[in-house]
Amino acid sequence: MRTNIDIDDKLMDYVMASGDFKTKREAVEAGLQLIKRRHAYAAIRAARGTLFWDDSDEAWAKRRAERAAELAAEQNNHAAGNPQDSAELAVHEPAPAYKVDSPVPPLPSASTRPHKRASKVSKS
């Protein structure tokens, strides 16, 4: 968006000299990004003290059990004909367009590999 603004010359000279800006536009955009970032940080700081983090093994096990129960409930709803939200999240992988006839033969084990003996070099 094209905008004409009246900026203090001394302030712009200071910013241009102290920053890595090639143009005044870059300096103004960096200032606007800083204001945007400050508002995001304020929202994060507002959440201070309201979040609880439990990194114990018991908490992780409990969360895994809760998630497994949620997935089982989603599968039961889908199987019962009540797909609700799970139909929107379903991912269907296409069948491969190729067929592997024979697997790659395994590498020989260390015991069946032929050993090369180092020849002795005689000193003359």
**27 close to 19: Cβ distance less than 8 angstroms:** yes
Helix (H) or strand (E) holding 63: helix 57-79
Is this model's pTM higher than 0.85 or not?
no
d(CA 24, CA 94): 52
Where do the domains of the chain lie?
Answer: 1-50, 52-86
**pLDDT at residue 51, rounded to an integer:** 78
**pLDDT at residue 13, rounded to an integer:** 92
Q: What is the pLDDT along the chain (124 residues), one digit of tens a residue?
A: 888 889 999 999 999 998 889 999 999 999 999 999 999 999 888 888 887 778 889 988 999 999 999 999 888 887 776 555 545 556 666 666 666 666 666 666 656 555 555 556 555 5
**110 close to 119: Cβ distance less than 8 angstroms:** no
d(CA 94, CA 92): 6
